[in-house]
Amino acid sequence: MSSQVKIVIPSLAVLAAVALLALTAAALLAASALPAAHADDMPVHVPSDMLGVGASVFSLDGVRVASAKVPVCDEAVLPTSLTSGPAQRSNAPLPKPKPAPKPTPAPRAETPAPSRAADTTGWQSARASWYGPGFYGRTTASGAVLTENMMNVAHRTLPFGTKVQFEYNGRTVTAVVNDRGPHIAGRVWDLGPGTAKALGFGGVATVNYRILGR
């Protein structure tokens, strides 16, 4: 017999013995002859504070299931948002937005009133003087006797009896042409004593006037 055959036969015998021991152990485990490797690892007293683990158990189709100790909220106290369906959409029309207030327009600057000289109703302006003291009792060009309160005025060309309205220093009066003058260049009117007094007029100044007619 060769040396190689002498080595192989003992090796096969060892492998056969190992296989036989493995088959024997498997058969014993199948027959529950040996305890499970981890059978004693389960604790005898199960902790009561672990989720899903409790002291009471019940059977479900022959399977023992530990009852959960997690508190279950009663349906009666559940929020309506969890138990009810979506809210129905209201058919009421949406409120219309209020229009934005219109900005207040800036006040317009007042246009100054036109002077009497530019008035379209006939007002004009001219230089005037006055007379009175030293002439009382004398006869005017129209034949009237001059008095200290006479509401008259002298003009070079206007017909006697023409009424003229004067305005000066905020005062307005009406006088009648019954004399001729003034006799100094640059002046248009010579106010009688009553007319000058009513206007508060003295010396030589510019007055506003308009001719009213006879």
DSSP 8-state code for residue 25: H
Quick check: 129 and 184 in contact, CB under 8 A? yes
Higher pLDDT, 70 or 138: 138
Quick check: 201 and 191 in contact, CB under 8 A? yes
**Which pLDDT tens digit goes with each residue over 26-61?**
777 766 544 444 444 455 554 554 444 444 444 444
Look up tokens 């000066």; give the residue: 168
pLDDT value for 96 = 75
Which residues, at least 6 apart from 187, have a Cβ–Cβ distance to it below 8 Å? 126, 127, 128, 129, 204
DSSP character string of 168-198: ETTEEEEEEEEE----STT--EEE-HHHHHH
Domains of the chain: 3-35+45-66 (no CATH), 119-213 (2.40.40.10)
**Which pLDDT tens digit goes with each residue over 104-150?**
777 665 544 444 444 447 999 999 999 999 999 999 999 999 999 99
Does the pLDDT value for residue 155 go beyond 60? yes
